[in-house]
Structure 1
């Protein structure tokens, strides 16, 4: 069973979602600590912990005598897995979604090409397991989306490039939350599993160029699906 969300994490999610949705704008001041804690119906300790989380993620800055303010968007760690989750819990900005797919389009095709050249048999087996789980559960379920996330993570890890592998959490979170958002809005018009299988087949065959093109096609179709889910 998943660990229950702790109080300070719930407060951070609530405030973070409000900032990302525009309810709080850059430069806006949050009321004093006592007032905010009372408004949220919590003690000052979990409220302080929540503020520390949001400061660490770049959404807030808190200074003595100056108070706590929302920072400029340029300072937000938009690829943080929590921040991505909060973004897609509401109505994500269309330009941000497109930018996210542009970023994936830069990273993942190149990663797939490297993975085709460097993958191990254990990594091929891990990708096969992810595909089998996707096929069994489907992307409308949490288990299926987790398998999808793990597949993309495995591709990055198979590059054996530490800098690329360090992006696995962010890319995986982007995969998870964009897919979940699409599933909540519209029934997908197609099964995305074949595109994943095409990427896998090219990686398994050590076909770097084929893996690159297959990942580009996967992302193109995923963005088309996302466009159908946005207003």
Structure 2
């Protein structure tokens, strides 16, 4: 007798949820240092019991972690954690897990360093290369920042503004970067807004970036974004 389609669908969703949960928890444990690089993972039977899952679910989770560079399996050696330099932290899931387990200040500063390396030059590229559609997106984001009435509205607009700057560069390699850091960047923007005297304290700095990009003044856009990120660093280090 054929399977009930509704039951089959439900079983598939449960299977995916279990796989995702095991992947998430094991990934965080490794990034947190519960299992040191070069050390073996617990045996399959132990992991199956710990998470209450089948061997199939566990092995799917391990394959996912292997694809992200966290672990490797070898005959007669078993499954071990790979060296830190092999970890693919430029992966949305990995970055999210790392943000959850890394010391908060340490992670915030690492993300800030990455932003300082990229965003001022992205603002200059946006000034040189923006098109009608990307200019309109930046205009909407900036206006939403001006109109924001609370932290949530401000953070959504702030995030869209910074992602809009990357999109305005007209460089296909920078757009995925925005998607990669979106979740972690949103967390940092929210923290910065809450640490400021008022949530929109950096509106003037964002406005300077916005008008420099619209004026196609690449040097001014780069300086304005560097100034904005300097304010951000000051709040992180305070």
TM norm. shorter chain > 0.5: yes
Aligned match of 1:62 in 73, 76, 84?
73
- Aligned-residue offset at 1:119: 0.5
Q: Aligned residues, how many?
A: 223
- Distance of 2:41 and 2:192 partners within structure 1: 33
Q: Show the 5 A alignment for 1:172-211.
A: 172-180=182-190, 187-190=195-198, 191-211=201-221
- Distance of 2:192 and 2:203 partners within structure 1: 15
- Aligned-residue offset at 1:79: 2.7
Distance 1:167 1:11, change over 3 A: same
| Structure 2: gaps (5+ residues) | 1-12
- Distance of 2:81 and 2:150 partners within structure 1: 35
- Distance of 1:121 and 1:202 partners within structure 2: 16
Pair 1:221-2:228 in alignment = no
Secondary structure of 1:167 counterpart: helix
Q: 1:193-214: CA deviations, max 9, x gaps?
A: 3322221121112111111011
TM-score by length of 1: 0.82
| Structure 1: gaps (5+ residues) | none
- Distance of 2:181 and 2:203 partners within structure 1: 18
- Distance of 1:103 and 1:6 partners within structure 2: 32
Q: Which residue is equivalent to 1:33?
A: 44
Secondary structure of 1:163 counterpart: coil
Contact 1:112 1:215 in 2 (8 A): yes
Q: 1:167-223: CA deviations, max 9, x gaps?
A: 22234344123335567xx64334333322221121112111111011111212222
